[in-house]
Amino acid sequence: MAADLDEKTDRYESMLADALAEATIEPPAETPLGAAAAECREMAESYLQDGRHFRDDGDPVNALAAFSYGYGWLDCGVRLGLFAVPDDTELFTM
C-alpha cells in the first residue's frame, strides 16, 4: 500500500507542477478577473510547496491532499476561463 501512495503522491506533484507550467493568466492583471486568476495561481503554488514540505516530513497523505487541492484550484480556473492552456494538453478537464 505504501508504494501505491508514494507513486500517486509523486504523480500528483508532477501533474501540479506541469499544470502550473502550462497555465497562463488569461484576463489582464489589472481587472478583477485577472486578480482572481493571480489568487488561484498563488494558491496552487502554495499547495505545491506545502505538499513538498509534507512529503519531506514523511507525511505522504497530507502531501497528496495538498497536491490534489492545488491542482483543483488550477483546473477550476481553466474551466472558468481564468487561465489559457495549450489545446493539446490532457492536464485539464476543459
73-85 pLDDT, tens digit each: 999 999 999 999 8
Q: What are residue 25's DSSP bridge partners?
A: 83
Q: Letter for the amino acid at 93?
A: T
pTM above 0.85, yes or no: yes
Whether 57 is in a domain gets the answer yes
Q: What CATH number has the domain bearing residue 79?
A: 1.20.1270.90
Number of structural domains (the chain) is: 1
| Cα dihedral 8→12→15→19 (10° resolution) | 170
Domain range for 64: 2-84
pLDDT single digits (tens) 8-67: 999 999 999 999 999 999 999 899 999 999 999 999 999 999 999 999 999 999 999 999
Report phi then psi at 22, rounded to 5. Answer: -90, -30
Across 11-79, the runs of DSSP E, i.e. the strands, are 24-25
Assess if residue 26 is contained within a domain: yes
For residue 89, being part of any structural domain is answered with: no
